[in-house]
Amino acid sequence: MLKLAVFGSGSGSNYQAIAEAIAADRLHAQIVCVFSDVQDAFILERARKLGHPAIFLDCAPFKTKLDGQAEARAIELIRRHGGNFIVLAGFMRIIKQGLLDAFPKRIVNIHPSLLPAFPGLEAGQQALTAGVKETGCTVHLVDGGIDTGPILVQRKVTIQPDDTIQTLMTRIHAQEHIAYPEALQKIATQMA
Ligand code: GRF
């Protein structure tokens, strides 16, 4: 059984979509805990409402990575809650070797572009600036790089001539909410 520890820094709409897919029996998994490196992130509020352990992970002194004591604490808490798989859902920190070694090939991420195109920050804006006709989202296994690692699911979004960053991101998000449960169910099926 997939027992998910979810990590997010912001709104948590992907986390919510995963929780809804589980409730609707479209995804055979369980969410065992939710972490955020941002104390007042909405994802923690959503977790409290949905009845999942909501954990603030103080990642200081690091600004852009999950390392050191915070990484060790995360590993300990995931294990304590029975987690066996990590879902990064808008987690704005780089995952380091300690967590990768603790959960080998068991960490996934979602990114708002058709990787390998437009990795890193502001992927939607990168696509608009590049003037491409199509972008989308990607669920992939996490390795040591930034938005690299084997791709599990991609969903496309057509860019309209009158798209703003807001209208485009709204449509990408809608596809993410389908892609993430789908990718996790693929993994659940492989594990069964
Ligand atoms: C998503 O666009 C995801 O692709 C990116 O961060 C965003 C998280 O959104 N990694 P939410 O917090 O799940 O609403």
91-147: pLDDT as tens digits: 999 999 999 999 999 999 999 999 999 999 999 999 999 999 999 999 999 998 889
Ligand 1 pocket test, candidate residues 6, 7, 14, 44, most atoms within 8 A of CB: 14
CA of 77 to the centre of ligand 1 (A): 23
Cβ of 16 less than 6 Å from ligand 1 = no
Residues 6 or more apart from 24 whose CB is under 8 A from it? Answer: none
Identify the band that residue 192 occupies on the pLDDT scale cut at 50, 70 and 90.
confident
The catalytic site residues sit at 111
- Model confidence over 5-43: pLDDT tens digits? 999 999 999 999 999 999 999 999 999 999 999 999 999
